[in-house]
Structure 1
Amino acid sequence: MDDIPVPLPARPERFMDRFKAHMRAKHLAYRTEKTYCLWVLDFIRFHHRRHPEQMGGEEVDAWLSYLANERQVAINTQKTALNAVVYLYRQFLGRDLGDLQFSKTSKGRRLPVVFSHEEAMQVIDSMNGGHQLVAGLMYGSGLRVMEAVRLRVQDVDFAEQCLFVRESKGEKWRRTLLPRALVEPLRTQIGLALALHKRDLDEGFGAVYLPGALAKKYPKAPTSAQWQYVFPAPNRAMDPRSQVMRRHHVGEQQVRRSVAAALAGLAIHKKASCHTFRHSFATNLLKAGTDIRSIQELLGHTDVNTTMIYTHVVGAHSRGVTSPLDG
């Protein structure tokens, strides 16, 4: 249950606990909270564990320049580190950092690795069970692995042949494609999930975790069929937030390990992972002539420039350009 926030004291006193409590009060995603904490701790350690209240813009500049010049992090990595300390000072400590003058990283953004359609299907066919279906959704619907494992029964609309992604990165909702090839496997998977849920209810359990205050607003929702996970975990576990024994969804790491094992058994020599399926979804749509704005919407990108990276992946050869050597 790696997406469940670690409980905090009722009255946090330690600096990092107070920082976490502030982010939760602002409803930041738990993944964002963990990322910001990692970078803030890195910042503190770089300055020999000085308290952030005793530092300011000069120290932030030095740390960000160190990340660029010494650790040679990528552009997006430095941006994430910057966002973390800016949130720390402006939002949490209520201090302005002024005009920062740090060195910008020169390490360019890499093009994402993608599968051909044949390679993607090879990997998926090498998997089995629920993990195979998760991989199919990552490739066929463009889901992130965490979005796929968090799918609820109500998020699958068979009538409209679409999926609703509700617990997404940045807390944004979106609608995306439901491949025809996955309709029957999904029906079967939902049937298995609901049968497991019925067994939990019969044994005195069956209340699933709901985000935010939904459980208080709708007291019957946690045990309703529509809120159950499509990919439930094989075993129940204690929820550290509420101390309630419940069934969570399958873990992201389990799916990642299944994909890694499938890749290890195939002659696909690429630095691939679960996210490669999502990249491949976008590039194959682009090759098929789908406009970039539609792809942006399906992926849930806020900025179209993020989606434009796939135009470089597709390359000139897909636009009819040929090498003079092949002429």
Structure 2
Amino acid sequence: MTTKYYIEEVYAEPLQAFTIWMKQSGYTETTRKEYLREVYDYLFSLDELPVQQAGKLNVVSFLVSKQESAGDKTRNRTLSAIRSFYASLIDFELATRNPALEVKKSKTEKNKIPVYLEEQELKKVLTYVDGRYRDRNLAIFLLMGYCGLRVGEVHRMNLSHFKKDKGTLEVLGKGRKWNEIPLPELVVEYLAKVEEERIQPYSAKEEAFFVSQKGRRLSIRQIQKIAAHVFDAFKQDHPQLTDMKLSCHKLRHSFATMLLRNNVDIRVVKELLGHASIETTMIYTHINDEQKRSAMTTIEVPKV
């Protein structure tokens, strides 16, 4: 019997509860898979001990066992998965306490500056979007780089979410929270064009706004591959950016940075990004060297 089947046999009910709970809570498919993988490893470490009998020591011991091969960020993700696991058991009355809440997260670099593209660099990236599905792919880049959508939000976008007459987009974000955002005029025009040229879906019931060449909803992985192809071509012509780790989420970083550079109120930026807490938005308030130099020119040093 493989480890996976062994765990599913010993902890069938808790795993079923966790799977159902994550779907009900609006966790993305990617997060569900990652969290389940972490929880499978945790349950294996319990060695058939009932989950309701496990305590803080069990959680810490498991985290320590993984510490050599994982950094603080990975450890915190593992801890979050276990916390969510116990939260689901409490919700379904399969446990009465969450021992993972008693374990502190590792301190990461809270002030680490997010990777982002400058406004001119972002404009140049768009010129590298080409190919047969250029309009569709360009619209995707515009939604992430100039509207701040997450890749999962682009993936979940349906035809009914685009309100052409109002010039807005209904975004289904994390935790199944809806957020209606106004769109720049040019983005509205591109989306209208993509809607008009939309590939006929394989299923007549398919509501996806972005459809693959096979007639199915464009997957998160496919969107990431489209972005990676564009970034690779862009980097070839801009060797100074070779080491910059660009991704779909970096386009979102660029959008947030651009807004704050334009002196948009951080509370408005928070709402546009769909953040639950303004503390999350604060990571984008980084200052660049040019702003520092500009600030110093306002200082008048007296001659003595």
Q: TM-score range by the shorter chain?
A: 0.7 to 0.9
- 1:172 corresponding residue in structure 2: 177
Change (3 A) 1:207 1:99: closer
Deviation at residue 260 of structure 1 after TM alignment: 1.4
Contact 1:65/1:104 (8 A) holds in 2:
no
Change (3 A) 1:65 1:107: farther
Mapping of residues 128-207 of structure 1, within 5 Å? 128=130, 129=134, 130-165=136-171, 167-193=172-198, 196=200, 205-207=203-205
Tell me the distance in 2 between the aligned counterparts of 1:137 and 1:106.
33
Whichever residue aligns with residue 138 of structure 2, its letter is: Q
Q: Give the structure with the larger helix fraction.
A: 2
Tell me the distance in 2 between the aligned counterparts of 1:97 and 1:230.
40
Change (3 A) 1:81 1:67: farther
Please list the CA deviations of residues 225-255 of structure 1 after superposition, one character each: whole Å capped at 9, or x if unmatched.
xxx222122224xxxxxxxxxxx31122122
Whichever residue aligns with residue 132 of structure 1, its letter is: L
- 1:87 corresponding residue in structure 2: 87
Please, what is the CA RMSD of the aligned residues?
3.1
Deviation at residue 180 of structure 1 after TM alignment: 1.8
1:29 partnered with 2:30: no
- 2:8 corresponding residue in structure 1: none
Q: 2:114 aligns with which of 87, 112, 115?
A: 112
Tell me the distance in 2 between the aligned counterparts of 1:161 and 1:132.
18
Please list the CA deviations of residues 82-128 of structure 1 after superposition, one character each: whole Å capped at 9, or x if unmatched.
53343255335222145965464233243210001122122222113
Tell me the distance in 2 between the aligned counterparts of 1:67 and 1:73.
11
Change (3 A) 1:99 1:191: closer
Deviation at residue 170 of structure 1 after TM alignment: 1.1
Please list the CA deviations of residues 242-286 of structure 1 after superposition, one character each: whole Å capped at 9, or x if unmatched.
xxxxxx311221221122122222223311101011011000000
The TM-score with structure 2 as length reference comes to 0.77
Tell me the distance in 2 between the aligned counterparts of 1:190 and 1:291.
32
User: How many aligned positions are there?
Assistant: 274
Is the partner of 2:276 in helix, strand or coil?
coil
Change (3 A) 1:183 1:28: closer
Mapping of residues 1-327 of structure 1, within 5 Å? 16-24=15-23, 26-31=24-29, 32-47=31-46, 52-53=51-52, 55-66=54-65, 71-74=70-73, 77=77, 80-92=80-92, 93-97=94-98, 102=103, 104-109=105-110, 110-128=112-130, 129=134, 130-165=136-171, 167-193=172-198, 196=200, 205-208=203-206, 228-236=207-215, 248-265=216-233, 266=235, 267=238, 268-269=241-242, 270-311=244-285, 313-315=286-288, 317-318=290-291, 320-322=294-296
Change (3 A) 1:300 1:321: same
Is the partner of 2:18 in helix, strand or coil?
helix
Tell me the distance in 1 between the aligned counterparts of 2:217 and 2:106.
38
Tell me the distance in 2 between the aligned counterparts of 1:87 and 1:42.
18
Deviation at residue 66 of structure 1 after TM alignment: 4.8
Change (3 A) 1:49 1:234: farther
Change (3 A) 1:118 1:46: farther
Tell me the distance in 2 between the aligned counterparts of 1:300 and 1:22.
22
Unaligned 5+ runs, structure 1: 1-11, 209-227, 237-247
Whichever residue aligns with residue 231 of structure 1, its letter is: F
Change (3 A) 1:42 1:53: same
Whichever residue aligns with residue 95 of structure 1, its letter is: T
The TM-score with structure 1 as length reference comes to 0.72
Tell me the distance in 2 between the aligned counterparts of 1:315 and 1:48.
51
Change (3 A) 1:73 1:46: farther
Change (3 A) 1:15 1:262: same
Tell me the distance in 1 between the aligned counterparts of 2:66 and 2:108.
11
Contact 2:168/2:182 (8 A) holds in 1:
yes
Change (3 A) 1:300 1:104: closer
Change (3 A) 1:304 1:100: closer
Whichever residue aligns with residue 108 of structure 1, its letter is: E
Is the partner of 1:289 in helix, strand or coil?
coil
Identity %: 25
Deviation at residue 52 of structure 1 after TM alignment: 3.0
Tell me the distance in 1 between the aligned counterparts of 2:290 and 2:158.
40
